[in-house]
Amino acid sequence: MDKIDLSEVCQHYRARVIRITPLDDCYLLETNRGPKELHVWPRVDVMRWSFAWRERLARQGFRAVERFIRTRDTKPFLVVGKRGVTMTDHVRHIEACEPRAELARSCGRVIGMMHLSQQESPLLSGADYLKQEQIAADAKWTRTKAFAEAFRSKHGREPGEKRWVAELMQPMLQRMERSSAMLSHESVAPDTVSVSHRELQRDNWGMVKGELYLRGFFRPALSVQQRDVASFLRDHYLTHKDIGQIDAFLDGYEEVKPLSYGDYILLLAFMARPREVYRSIEAYTKRVAGKEEASVKAIEQALRIQESVDQLLQHIAYRAEQSRREGVHEPL
């Protein structure tokens, strides 16, 4: 937890602090005005950006989001040294969201509203973050190609599990290369790409008094909005295996913020990364290189996950083709 003078910070707020409890990502304050959370932001520009989109989202009509409490001087945040500090209400009773299509559609609408609010801010450049994603994807593909070629040259002809793993590397590399190429697809216009959180999670959702509640994003890793959506849909589908809920989310999202063909290309690019397969194969090769006992069970599990992801990819690709009107005519 960042070291700051909490007593001095709390004096800027009207609430009288009774007790302070450090948590993993914030300080929980018991005050005469109810429980509050005090968050420390490593980047002041991200804090300012976060304040702006929360306020715009509230003005759009969705107020069930953690908003910054103003200080005695009516400031929405404090700057302490090179860090930012914000206070929000702490909600004690947040229930998990029950999976159903109607709720998924509502979630889609809210995220569409959030993304519209975020793209209005000039503080952060979506094109810069897209470029970072392109560079990172190219670099990872290059590194993976090198360790794959080294493993295949040494173990590719050995019988048994090592040869099987070596044979899996080519399709893994093809997926990574395809994902990297799609990030630079000609239908993607960098100047239309906006910044959001790197990965929207299930933990960002809850139900408070029967109403949908959006929470978190206080120490966000940032990327482009399409990665935000892709990570959520991928995780949601792997959890519930319900294409209907995927469609409901995207339908709700597009009611507020229609997706272009280029947007769908980026969704596919982020979803297509063979995350579990890559991690399990990399871990296996490291154990082999270290002459440790290596099992392929994790790889087998990763391949089963990839089968489910492929079902999702096929469906998103179908929606992409349906959305296309003019421009690119090559199949996905």
Amino acid at 317: A
Predicted pLDDT of residue 2 = 52
DSSP per-residue codes, 207-245:
EETTEEEE---SS--EEEHHHHHHHHHHHHHHHH--HHH
Q: Where is pLDDT greater, at 87 or 121?
A: 87
Q: Is 57 helix (H, G, I), strand (E, B) or coil?
A: helix
Query: Which residue ranges make up each domain of the chain?
Result: 6-89, 101-323
DSSP per-residue codes, 140-185:
HHHHHHHHHHHHHHHHTTSSSHHHHHHHHHHHHHHHHHHHHHHHT-
Q: Is 56 helix (H, G, I), strand (E, B) or coil?
A: helix
- Strands 78-80 and 83-89, bridge-based pairing: antiparallel
pLDDT single digits (tens) 198-226: 989 888 999 999 999 999 999 889 999 99
Phi-psi group of 42: left, alpha or beta (phi > 0 → left; psi -120 to 50 → alpha; rest → beta): alpha
Distance CA 283, CA 269 (A): 24
Q: What are the E-state strand segments in the chain?
A: 17-22, 27-31, 34-41, 78-80, 83-89, 195-197, 205-208, 211-214, 222-224
Is the pTM above the cut of 0.85? yes
CATH classification of 6-89, choosing from 3.30.200.20, 2.30.38.10, 3.20.20.370, 3.30.70.270?
3.30.200.20
Predicted pLDDT of residue 4 = 81
CB 113 within 8 A of CB 65: no
pLDDT single digits (tens) 274-286: 999 999 999 999 9
Predicted pLDDT of residue 154 = 94
- Residue 325's pLDDT band (cuts 50, 70, 90): low
The H or E element containing residue 137 is helix 126-155
CATH code at 101-323? 3.90.1200.10
pLDDT single digits (tens) 215-267: 999 988 999 999 999 999 999 999 999 999 999 999 999 999 999 999 999 99
